[in-house]
Amino acid sequence: MNAPNQSGWKPSMQAVDASGDMVTTTGNRALMLEEPLIFEIGHAETTGVDLPEIDASAPNRMGGFDRAEPIGLVGLTEPETVRHYTRLSRQNYGIDLGFFPLGSCTMKHNPRLNEKMARLPGFADIHPLAPQSTVQGALEVIDQLATWLKTLTGMPAVAMSPKAGAHGELCGILAIRAAHTAAGNPREVVLVPESAHGTNPATAAFAGYKVDNIPATPEGRVDVEALIERLGPDVAAVMITNPNTCGLFEKDFRTIADAVHEVGGYVYCDGANFNAIVGRVRPGDLGVDAMHINLHKTFSTPHGGGGPGSGPVVFSEALAPFAPLPFIRKDEDGVYEIVEEESREESRGQTFGRMTAFHGQMGMFTRALTYMLSHGADGLKQVSEDAVLNANYILRSLEDLLHAPYADSGPCMHEALFGDKDFGNGLTTLDLAKAMIDEGYHPMTMYFPLVVHGAMLVEPTETESKAALDQFIEAFRSVATRALAGDESMKEAPYYAPRRRLDETQAARKPVLTWEPQEAS
């Protein structure tokens, strides 16, 4: 417990010394200092800067919204403030510290060139309500990016406004609903294979559809016969993740697409894993009607932390008229225009409406286009090839030790999948993941996909060198060997992290989200 006293924060932690006696420690671990909450080291009565005295006779400009009570912000000196946030940052883990093996998330290195371009004046300070005549360069960036996305996917239209993957899924499903409604039959069912991302059925249900599950084969791919058997006039679409969450390419995708189209349905492809096939496969050639693309995955822009994100959606010719507003159009004089109002004269005259208030996230657009231009078409092809090579290197380096359920299904794509089969002494995937923290690694994705018991999903991406992968593999093998041997000490891991293992169930069900001061002891 950390208890404040009159002089500020007083660290107080209990530990057992070599003789077995309870002792009070600071909680510090060498140069990794125990850091209290900012409220525990500062005082609301002080401030680190000099502020002018308030003129009580000055007119009140609050319009009746005067603060009813003190805000309670603490005052710190500049060194205290800098040290506080620097110490907190050292307790975090990021791609600049080491390999980030999260599967299905594509946590790759972000080139600093992209960041530099996004911070240029005219991009970083752009306002969504600026007159269009003053932001022609920004609109051209968006238009160029849209052209790249259409070229890479082989699709004729793209909506740039969706803010992330699940938002893009909703955009595609709403366009599909609009197309069926225009045809006089909105239909009721969306088919989702169990190898798809979990957001797929959630999106379909959110859009008002009934979701029917399609099983996977023992090889980890869509059961094509089961899917075709379920097709009928009530099926609006199928949502398929390709490559799927087992890290496998759906080799029968074209067969599935043709069968869905034959009954008047549409094919939605979850493009979150586009990083594995960019430059190698054009989804439009596979019969895809709509697909979102996570710019913050495939095209190396910041990922995580709650945003900002970007999830453009590409559309087939059949769905292009139903894509959302706004979109960018270039006139004969080379002037770019954001088309924001629905018009039956426009090529998108049957649009389902708007997804968001504004056109998109400029920082993400700028970073993604920079990434594309710096790599070129050949470079983007190498990106996917290296990502697949790295994933297969991890798979083949560990399949002799860990259960690899689909290792015999052929090469994996961008991620390697393992299970917890034969772990000893009741040890679980969670125990292995916590032990990986002690090895200096952020854990891989755990318990996903659900079709594999105790799943561990590893995506190395293309930005990791062989030396980095070898180091990770060595650590992974060491921890896996302990798990298979039933090493009970793993149940208490991590031992060396800033915090020991939490009760994750209670943390999820009864989180403590506010700080309350405690009386001084």
Phi/psi for 505 (5° steps) reads -65, -45
Q: pLDDT tens digits, the chain, 521 residues: what are they?
A: 333 333 344 445 555 556 666 666 677 777 788 888 888 888 877 777 887 888 888 888 888 888 888 887 888 888 999 999 999 988 888 888 899 999 988 889 989 999 999 999 989 999 989 999 999 999 999 999 999 999 999 999 999 999 988 999 999 999 999 999 999 998 999 999 998 888 999 999 999 999 999 999 999 999 999 999 999 999 999 999 999 999 999 999 999 999 999 999 999 999 999 999 999 999 999 999 999 999 989 998 777 555 568 999 999 999 999 999 888 999 989 999 998 876 544 545 688 988 888 888 899 999 999 999 999 999 999 999 999 999 999 999 999 999 999 999 999 999 999 999 999 999 999 999 999 999 999 999 999 998 899 999 999 999 999 999 999 999 999 999 999 999 999 999 999 888 888 888 899 999 988 888 776 55
pLDDT at 521: 54
- Give residue for tokens 């690899």: 404
Quick check: 309 and 296 in contact, CB under 8 A? yes
Quick check: 278 and 298 in contact, CB under 8 A? yes
What is the spatial distance between Cα 308 and Cα 367, in angstroms, rounded to a whole number?
12
For residues 482-508, b (16+ Cβ closer than 10 Å) or e, as one string? bbbeebeebeebbeeebeeeeeeeeee
> pTM of this prediction?
0.88
pLDDT at 16: 57
Phi/psi for 309 (5° steps) reads -125, -175
Q: Residue 474 corresponds to which tokens in the numbers above?
A: 């060595």
**Amino acid letter for position 496:** Y
Quick check: 257 and 229 in contact, CB under 8 A? no
Q: CATH class for domain 113-369? A: alpha beta
**Burial group, residue 127, by CB count within 10 angstroms (0-12, 13-18, 19+):** exposed
What is the spatial distance between Cα 357 and Cα 435, in angstroms, rounded to a whole number?
45
Quick check: 141 and 171 in contact, CB under 8 A? no
* Residues whose CB falls within 8 Å of the CB of residue 462, separated by 6 or more in sequence, listed in order: 108, 275, 382, 383, 384, 385, 386, 387, 390
3-class secondary-structure state, position 518: coil
**Amino acid letter for position 7:** S
Per DSSP (E only), the strands in 242-395 are: 266-270, 290-292, 313-315, 327-330, 336-339
Q: Residue 510 corresponds to which tokens in the numbers above?
A: 């009864």
Per DSSP (E only), the strands in 126-241 are: 157-159, 189-193, 210-214, 235-241
Q: Residue 15 corresponds to which tokens in the numbers above?
A: 């530990």
Cis peptide preceding 494, ω within 30 of 0: yes
- Which of the four CATH numbers 3.50.50.60, 3.90.1150.10, 3.30.420.40, 3.40.50.300 does domain 378-508 have? 3.90.1150.10
What is the spatial distance between Cα 36 and Cα 266, in angstroms, rounded to a whole number?
54
Q: 454 in the Ramachandran plot: left (φ > 0), alpha (ψ -120 to 50) or beta?
A: left
pLDDT at 13: 56
Phi/psi for 75 (5° steps) reads -105, 130
Q: Which long-range contacts (CB under 8 A, 24 or more apart) does 114-119 make?
A: 114/300, 114/301, 114/366, 114/367, 114/368, 114/370, 114/371, 115/367, 117/366, 117/367, 117/370, 118/363, 118/366, 118/367, 118/370
Q: Residue 102 corresponds to which tokens in the numbers above?
A: 């999260």
Quick check: 402 and 458 in contact, CB under 8 A? no
pLDDT at 4: 37
The domain spans of the chain are 113-369, 378-508
In 3D, which of 283, 263, 261, 264 has the Cα closest to residue 273? Answer: 283
Per DSSP (E only), the strands in 145-202 are: 157-159, 189-193
* Residues whose CB falls within 8 Å of the CB of residue 45, separated by 6 or more in sequence, listed in order: 75
State which H helix or E strand residue 457 sits in.
strand 456-458
CB atoms within 10 A of CB 253: 22
Quick check: 309 and 321 in contact, CB under 8 A? no
In 3D, which of 420, 415, 421 has the Cα closest to residue 395? Answer: 415
